[in-house]
Amino acid sequence: MCGIVGYIGNKQVLPILIQGLRRLEYRGYDSAGVAILDNSKQTAVNRVRSVGKIDNLADKVKTEKMEGTVGIAHTRWATHGGVTEENAHPHFGCDEKLVIAHNGIIENYRELKEVLEKDHTFTSQTDTEILAHLIETHYKGDLRMAVETALSHVRGTYGLVVLHADHPGTIIAARLGSPLVIGIGEDEHFVASDATPMLAYTKKVVFLDDGEIAEIHKDGFVTYDLKDKIITKHVEEIEWDDEQAQKQGYDHFMLKEIFDQPTVFEDAIRGRYDIDEGTAHLGGLNMNDEEMRRVNRIVLIACGTASYAAMVGKYAFERLAGIPTEVDVASEFRYRDPIIDSNTLVFAISQSGETLDTLAAVREAKRKGAFVRGIVNVVGSTIARETDGGTYIHAGPELAVASTKAYTNMVAIMVLYAIQFGRLKRITLATGQRLINALLEIPEKMNLVFEQNENIKKLAEKYKNYRDFLFLGRGINYPVALEGSLKLKEISYIHSEAYPGGEMKHGPIALLSKDFPVFAIMVKDQLYDKMRSNIEEIRARKAPIILVATQGDERAKELAEDIIYVPDTMELLEPLLNTIPLQLFAYHVAVMLGRDVDRPRNLAKSVTVE
């Protein structure tokens, strides 16, 4: 849940570290710090830390003399100890020669601290500082060995980087449960929690695996396992460029990412469908037709927005392939002794590929003998690597904490999978072709939804001061309502709930009044009339109504004056369009309320704690 960046080379390291932290700020942003080996006195480490966003740290370092070409930095999302400068990373050992930045949780930190406290002085409440002192205890001149020995006493998770003033040409990096990537440049090397801090300098990267420790120098690196055996690593080329990771003229990453959707949707489906056969080919499934036919149950595990995408996927799998499909929130799945057999196919769905709950659920499912496939955005992420195959959703870097384009592409991939299974099991060539043609029209139709942006902005202005919202949808638009409600609450901090339209009369209707607006999705599909009746019930209670309705539905005007029109599409694909107005509404409300849209309070992009 924190971000780490390190550099060793010939350049002045401070701007690289600060810039790198800005790229990683989505991982946590309650405090930050840098530690740099002092070039003038090779035996000293200069450290500056500050509470708050990276901007605060950037201001603070301006007044410090921090020159050097080797350094590490960290942006924190607090787990142990409050948000204070003392608890911000990097942390020193006692003699201030050894410094460490860490992401993860040391579970046995209390036991370790009790022992260490006899000879070491602690200055923070963090679990990380224990690591600094533990490594210091084991340091006998060989830094990697000291880290390795210290880690053998640790229970928990870590991605960590260590510097020592006596080893100015070395950064040690180790990983267990929290991601670390090494970037390979010309006479320089990088290490970070993901590849974004290094993209401006190199696209050549190596992903550390759990239980690996790397000794990094400016001209190379060596990776070991924790038993000291050298591991040969595969160098990969990152496709994202630095510019892709920027805002490209939009005020916020979230807005850019909403508008990215038509393009990245095309990236998701390109080369993965076969119009002649009316089917899809997602090679990453690693199953032959016979194995696919044997699948008699699908379980989709995910968290947050990814779980709402999964709920759409359930409709697609059941309707097209006739395979009973369950959606399980990952944090529940792992603890409820799930029933899995060899004919159950499990998909783990995750933007970051690092969500701890989802990862733990993957491990649990594999332990029970399931085939687990990933539907993941971040290439080389832990879930991508730990699953038995799967498909990248190709949404590109998603930096806003609120997920938008990843959701769309997750849905796209699940629909493609459902078509692929469906063609083997029950849908006709014509149905397959109709679906693929409808998918191909989606980017253009998304652009039509964007034409509603000004209208949505006006609605945001009108509704921004309400304190509560109810989102309603039926059938495949129920997950859309859930997603719209999540978007609004997470970035605007306005309370909202989502219900299936038919459930309203079983309780939530009691909430309705002129002060409780309802955002309802009432598009022309098989549940249109049912949804209309629900809206009539709301009108009778005088609650303000915002409708998402199908272009050309004049009757919608009898029910509400505030309408966002969306193009018609096949029912299974409706969420790909209908979610967008809800994303834009949440965005505009949050901007108008002066919220930090890209980095809402209390949240982090990558949730790597339980």
Confirm or reject binding of residue 358 to ligand M6R (CB under 6 A).
yes
CA angle 458, 461, 462 (to 5 degrees): 90
Q: What are φ and ψ of residue 397, in 5° steps?
A: -65, 130
**Which of residues 223 and 358 has its CB atom nearest to ligand M6R in the complex?**
358
Beta carbons of 36 and 70 less than 8 angstroms apart: yes
Binding positions for ligand M6R, 467-496, rule CB under 6 A: 490
Q: Determine whether 41 is an active site residue.
A: no
Query: Can you tell me the distance from the alpha carbon of 458 to that of 129, in angstroms, rounded to the nearest whole number?
Result: 50
Shortest CA distance to 11 belongs to which of 211, 144, 242, 190? 190
Task: Specify the residue for token string 């210091």.
Answer: 136
Confirm or reject binding of residue 607 to ligand M6R (CB under 6 A).
yes
**Which of residues 126 and 351 has its CB atom nearest to ligand M6R in the complex?**
351
Query: Can you tell me the distance from the alpha carbon of 589 to that of 85, in angstroms, rounded to the nearest whole number?
Result: 33
Write the DSSP symbol of residue 156. Answer: B
What's the closest the beta carbon of residue 381 comes to ligand M6R, in angstroms? Answer: 9
Residue type, 169: G
Helix 574-592 to helix 478-492 angle (10° resolution) is 20
Handedness of CA 120, 123, 129, 130 (dihedral sign): positive
Residue type, 497: E
Using the rule CB under 6 A, give the single segment among 299-307, 339-347, 416-424, 561-569 that binds ligand M6R: 299-307
Using the rule CB under 6 A, give the single segment among 189-197, 199-207, 248-256, 301-309 that binds ligand M6R: 301-309
Among 46, 75, 193, 403, the residue binding ligand M6R under the rule CB under 6 A is 403
Task: Specify the residue for token string 């063609």.
Answer: 423
**Which of residues 150 and 401 has its CB atom nearest to ligand M6R in the complex?**
401
Cα 405 to chain centroid distance, Å, stands at: 11
What's the closest the beta carbon of residue 331 comes to ligand M6R, in angstroms? Answer: 10
Confirm or reject binding of residue 352 to ligand M6R (CB under 6 A).
yes
Confirm or reject binding of residue 257 to ligand M6R (CB under 6 A).
no
Kindly name the residue from 2, 97, 314, 487 that is annotated as catalytic. 2
What's the closest the beta carbon of residue 482 comes to ligand M6R, in angstroms? Answer: 11
**Which of residues 257 and 553 has its CB atom nearest to ligand M6R in the complex?**
257
Write the DSSP symbol of residue 177. Answer: B
What's the closest the beta carbon of residue 442 comes to ligand M6R, in angstroms? Answer: 21
Shortest CA distance to 492 belongs to which of 465, 517, 515? 465
Confirm or reject binding of residue 355 to ligand M6R (CB under 6 A).
yes
Binding positions for ligand M6R, 94-133, rule CB under 6 A: none
What's the closest the beta carbon of residue 600 comes to ligand M6R, in angstroms? Answer: 8
Tokens of 195: 């590849």
What's the closest the beta carbon of residue 352 comes to ligand M6R, in angstroms? Answer: 3
Query: Can you tell me the distance from the alpha carbon of 463 to that of 407, in angstroms, rounded to the nearest whole number?
Result: 25
Shortest CA distance to 58 belongs to which of 80, 75, 44, 38? 75
Confirm or reject binding of residue 303 to ligand M6R (CB under 6 A).
yes
Task: Specify the residue for token string 């370790």.
Answer: 112
Confirm or reject binding of residue 194 to ligand M6R (CB under 6 A).
no
Confirm or reject binding of residue 344 to ligand M6R (CB under 6 A).
no
Cα 168 to chain centroid distance, Å, stands at: 35
Tokens of 38: 């002092």
Using the rule CB under 6 A, give the single segment among 15-23, 304-312, 516-524, 588-596 that binds ligand M6R: 304-312
Reduce the secondary structure of 245-267 to three states and give it as a string: HCCCCCCCHHHHHHHCHHHHHHH
Beta carbons of 546 and 459 less than 8 angstroms apart: yes
Confirm or reject binding of residue 396 to ligand M6R (CB under 6 A).
no
Q: What are φ and ψ of residue 515, in 5° steps?
A: -100, 10
Confirm or reject binding of residue 295 to ligand M6R (CB under 6 A).
no
Confirm or reject binding of residue 69 to ligand M6R (CB under 6 A).
no
Confirm or reject binding of residue 331 to ligand M6R (CB under 6 A).
no
What's the closest the beta carbon of residue 185 comes to ligand M6R, in angstroms? Answer: 28
Beta carbons of 469 and 488 less than 8 angstroms apart: yes
**Which of residues 304 and 501 has its CB atom nearest to ligand M6R in the complex?**
304
**Which of residues 162 and 586 has its CB atom nearest to ligand M6R in the complex?**
586
What's the closest the beta carbon of residue 377 comes to ligand M6R, in angstroms? Answer: 7
Query: Can you tell me the distance from the alpha carbon of 429 to that of 304, in angstroms, rounded to the nearest whole number?
Result: 35
Kindly name the residue from 53, 218, 405, 605 that is annotated as catalytic. 605
Confirm or reject binding of residue 304 to ligand M6R (CB under 6 A).
yes
Confirm or reject binding of residue 402 to ligand M6R (CB under 6 A).
yes
Beta carbons of 422 and 321 less than 8 angstroms apart: yes
Confirm or reject binding of residue 305 to ligand M6R (CB under 6 A).
yes
Beta carbons of 144 and 215 less than 8 angstroms apart: yes
Using the rule CB under 6 A, give the single segment among 163-171, 344-352, 558-566, 582-590 that binds ligand M6R: 344-352
Q: What are φ and ψ of residue 25, in 5° steps?
A: -60, -25
Q: Determine whether 605 is an active site residue.
A: yes
Using the rule CB under 6 A, give the single segment among 211-219, 297-305, 538-546, 581-589 that binds ligand M6R: 297-305
Count of positions on this chain that bind ligand M6R (CB under 6 A): 15
Which residue has the closest beta carbon to ligand M6R? 304
**Which of residues 160 and 406 has its CB atom nearest to ligand M6R in the complex?**
406
Using the rule CB under 6 A, give the single segment among 71-79, 166-174, 384-392, 397-405 that binds ligand M6R: 397-405
Write the DSSP symbol of residue 90. Answer: P
Confirm or reject binding of residue 408 to ligand M6R (CB under 6 A).
no
Tokens of 218: 């400016």
3-class secondary structure, 275: coil
**Which of residues 124 and 578 has its CB atom nearest to ligand M6R in the complex?**
578
Which stretch of DSSP H or E encloses residue 224? strand 220-225
Using the rule CB under 6 A, give the single segment among 319-327, 347-355, 509-517, 557-565 that binds ligand M6R: 347-355
Beta carbons of 276 and 302 less than 8 angstroms apart: no
Binding positions for ligand M6R, 375-394, rule CB under 6 A: none
> What mask, x for binding ligand M6R by CB under 6 A, covers residues 263 to 292?
------------------------------
Using the rule CB under 6 A, give the single segment among 212-220, 257-265, 401-409, 527-535 that binds ligand M6R: 401-409
Q: In terms of DSSP bridges, do strands 371-376 and 344-350 run parallel, antiparallel, or are they unpaired?
A: parallel
Q: Which residues are catalytic?
A: 2, 605
**Which residues of the shown chain bind ligand M6R in the complex (CB under 6 A)?**
303-306, 350-352, 355, 358, 401-403, 490, 603, 607
